[in-house]
Amino acid sequence: MIIDTHAHIDQLEDLPGALERAHEAGVSDIIAVSVDLGSMEKVLSIAGQYQKPKIHPALGVHPGMVKAETQQMALDFMRANLSQARAVGETGLDYWYKWVRKDEIERQQQKDSFAVHLELAQEFDLPIVIHSRGAWQDCLSMTLASGVKRALFHWYSGPVDILDQIISAGFYVSTSVSVAYSPESRQAMGHAPLDRILVETDAPVTYRDGETKFMAEPKDVIRTWKALAQLKNLDEQEVLTVVNANAKAFFGI
Ligand SMILES: [Zn+2]
């Protein structure tokens, strides 16, 4: 069995088929992250409809989806429903695009949102799933300042010096199918200790497979696991045992 620790199941084109294929491939559990109010509602409703794989909702507003007009409603919904969730997320900061790096108001809105997510994680004693693309240092600083203890830097592909601080703070990182080929992912995961790594798909993200591309679904977490084992030059079963134990410990499942 294997756990997909980060999938956007509400965005999958063929949800029943994808879950069936995941179950057949040995995926026992999926952490179903959300990105905005509509997505939170869908994830909660889907989680109640399917038993295999077991779906664990995570509630949050993605940094790319923070909107001044709807933010309060989304946060109120989170607060009202977090008792049914397994985690807070996905949340965080995203400074990847130049316009965001130039737009101080946008960055402040993302920070305000992330700060509330960190507070809610504390209040509900839940782990938090952090999107940190291009904003690794600010994400780490805010997380450390918040006092949150269970933080996952999802699909970590940032600098290794920040990774060292993430690890020494006791936090976790995850990696995606990109660990098979992305230099940034490979550098980070080559550096991170295996006992802090989780595997995920971020489905339905599109990945490369040699010369072709494909849209991921939760069963593709098997690709992530195998590529990680290859990168680490370790036995696949040994890696599977460790990443499953990490996911269970982190999410308490
Ligand atoms: Zn995601």
CATH number, domain containing residue 148:
3.20.20.140
pLDDT at 104: 87
CA of 169 to the centre of ligand 1 (A): 23
CA of 152 to the centre of ligand 1 (A): 12
Residue 16 pLDDT level (bands cut at 50, 70, 90): very high
Domain that holds residue 49: 2-251
Which structure tokens are listed for 48? 């109640």
Pinpoint the alpha helices (H) of the chain: 15-25, 37-49, 71-81, 98-102, 104-124, 136-146, 160-168, 183-191, 221-232, 236-251
Determine the longest span between alpha carbons in the chain, in angstroms.
Answer: 50
The whole-number average pLDDT for the span 180-199 is 98
pLDDT at 89: 95
Q: Which of 28, 34, 35 is nearest to 50 (CA)?
A: 28
- Rounded to two decimals, the pTM is 0.96
CA of 155 to the centre of ligand 1 (A): 8
CA of 148 to the centre of ligand 1 (A): 20
CA of 90 to the centre of ligand 1 (A): 6
Residue 194 pLDDT level (bands cut at 50, 70, 90): very high
The whole-number average pLDDT for the span 131-159 is 97
Q: pLDDT tens-digit profile of 29-45?
A: 999 999 999 999 999 99
pLDDT at residue 70 tops 90: no
Rg (CA), the chain: 17
β-bridge partners, 87: 58
Number of domains in the chain: 1
CA of 130 to the centre of ligand 1 (A): 9
pLDDT at residue 128 tops 90: yes
CA of 204 to the centre of ligand 1 (A): 9
CA of 251 to the centre of ligand 1 (A): 16
Percent of the residues in the chain that have a pLDDT greater than 70, as a whole number: 100
